[in-house]
Amino acid sequence: MISNIVRTRFAPSPTGYLHVGGLRTALYNYLFAKRNNGKFILRIEDTDRARYVEGAIENLISTLKWAGLYFDEGPGVEGEFAPYLQSERLNIYKEHAEHLIKEKKAYYCFCSQERLNELREKQQKEGLQPKYDKHCLGLSKDEVEKKLADNERHVIRLNVQPGENIIVDDVIRGRVEFNSDVVDDQVLIKSDGYPTYHLANVVDDHLMKITHVIRGEEWLSSTPKHILLYDFFDWEKPVFAHLPLLLNPDRSKLSKRQGDVAVEDYRAKGYLKEALINFVALLGWTAGDDKEFYYLNELKEKFSLERVNKAGAVFNVEKLNWLNAEHLRKKENSEILILLKEELSGSKYKNQNYTDEYLLKVIEAMKERVIFVKDYLEKSPYFFETPGEYDESVAAKRWKDNSPELMKKLVEKFQKLENPVKEDYENTLKETAAELEVENGDLIHPLRLAVSGIGAGPGVFDIVDILGKEESIKRINKAIELIPQSSTIKS
């Protein structure tokens, strides 16, 4: 009997990195369980040994935990339905397959690969859907027993009855009907003794009391096979919900050919887990309003399968970038400080000692201008090193013939300041401009170029204040010396 407590599961195969589509499946299962005070289970479907990748299980678990999707049961979090690795449950599948054989709902198949290939080619030439022809179902009991005694290579197949209507009631897609004539006598146990996805999936979902099977649309065509298995075992079926495909901007199926698809790729690029979870949640689901910014706890309260769309969801990186910037801005500066220190520790500035006070000023100055934490280094390197080059186009436009003399005068004024703050630098520049009878901009623009090497960024007085009086003067003097020498100016 299915549990009266909502139980969902994420059941990935350890064949490599976690696809963003897999993250969405895991997220929706997690959100639905939490929204309904249920349990979220992680099960590893590792029965396809040819595709097994060493270390993939550990990577999957690490990535889920990084994203904040902690499972209630699974590898390392053992519950009453352990083990949660299918490779450790082989006897369970074998027993259930043998039960189906006794009930004549499954049978042994000894056909060689050569025969199966010939059958497929013949059916294709005749315009028929390739499927097994039940040849071995006609073997006598004695023939089967002899072949088994001789250890002949074999599989176990499901005995699908023709002419039956198979109904899938799907929360997202409604009623979907299939005719059993198009359902193959699928293999349940492979010749290596391992179960196929279909048998292991159904057996485990039943034994682990999974109430809701929430998975990608690509599994919808397999669901009739699963329905038959539930019926053959006389088991109650879970609720099915098949999620829409993820699409590239050109509406082709999301693939690595057109960009990154692994969660680890986005993590390495500096995307925040909060932003990625927020973005993935909106790939096929909406709360029914215009809100797009969510934290995980808010999603737990809002999520429902009824609000999941049928249509494919376009993976829009620009929207992901926007969400990342929004989530970063909404963090406390003290939290960004921790992230910035991590970024610095892996950069060329790792051996430099910056005070927390200094870094917090940098964070505040650049907060509205960054998308990623790494942008603090990439968009404002002048906070971490003296410019060695000056933007050529900015120098050509902003560094006039009189700029060196104006900057020398400004240096004189700055040197007289004692313990200056931002307003002191601003007032001094304005006073200097008035005294020299020039526009404020005639001093502001070359000053920005001198201290930062570029022509954009936060307010120039913020930059000077953060760098401090001595460092700013040193940079102005260096610019006076270098900028007229056009061969050293680089764009």
For residue 265, the domain's CATH number is: 1.10.1160.10
Q: Domain boundary residue among 222, 243, 264? A: 243
- Per-residue pLDDT reduced to its tens digit, 187-227: 999 999 999 999 999 999 999 999 999 999 999 999 999 99
**pLDDT at residue 256, as a whole number:** 65
Q: What is the mean pLDDT of residues 52-72?
A: 95
Domain boundary among 217, 243, 269: 243
| Chain mean pLDDT for the chain | 95
Residue 111 has which token pair? 């056909």
Q: What are 398-413's pLDDT values in tens digits?
A: 999 999 999 999 999 9
Condensed to tens digits (0 to 9), the pLDDT of residues 297-319 reads 999 999 999 999 999 999 999 99
Answer whether residue 50 is part of any domain: no
Count up the domains in the chain and report the number: 4
Half-sphere exposure of 423 (CA within 13 A, CB side): 0
Query: Does residue 288 register a pLDDT over 50?
Result: yes
Q: What is the DSSP pairing of strand 39-42 with strand 106-109?
A: unpaired
Q: Do 484 and 404 reside in the same domain of the chain?
A: yes
In a domain, 250, yes or no: no
Domain assignment present for 150: yes
Q: Is the pLDDT score of 55 beyond 70?
A: yes
Q: Is the pLDDT of residue 489 over 50?
A: no
The pTM score is 0.92
Which pLDDT value is given to residue 2?
Answer: 67
Q: Is 40 part of a structural domain of the chain?
A: no
- Asked whether the beta carbons of 280 and 20 are under 8 A apart, the reply is yes
Written as six digits, the tokens of 265 are 């790729």
CA distance linking residue 380 with residue 382, whole number of Å: 5
Residue that terminates a domain, selected from 199, 219, 243: 243
pLDDT recorded at residue 250: 87
Same domain, 211 and 298: no
- On whether residue 52 sits in a domain, the answer given is no
Domain span including residue 433: 386-488
pLDDT at 487: 37
Both 129 and 205 in a single domain?
yes
Q: For 19, which DSSP code? A: B
The pLDDT tens digits for 121-177 are 999 999 999 999 999 999 999 999 999 999 999 999 999 999 999 999 999 999 999
Residue 26 placed within a domain: no
Same domain, 296 and 337: no
Res. 1 pLDDT band, cuts 50 70 90:
low
- Same domain flag for 281 and 423: no
Same domain? 459 vs 423:
yes
Query: 471 pLDDT exceeds 90?
Result: yes
Q: Are residues 120 and 200 in the same domain?
A: yes
Within-domain flag for 285: yes
Question: Do residues 207 and 81 make contact, with C-beta atoms less than 8 angstroms apart?
Answer: yes
Instruction: Return the half-sphere exposure (C-beta side, CA atoms, 13 A cut-off) of residue 388.
Output: 2
Q: Is the pLDDT of residue 252 over 90?
A: no
Q: Would you say residue 78 lies in a domain?
A: no
- Residue 416: which CATH number? 1.10.10.350
Looking at residue 434, its pLDDT comes to 98
Q: Are residues 356 and 324 in the same domain?
A: no
Query: Which residues, other chains included, contact 329 with Cβ-Cβ below 8 Å and sequence gap of 6+?
Result: 367, 368
Tell whether 106 and 230 lie within a shared domain.
yes
Active centre residues (catalytic): 256
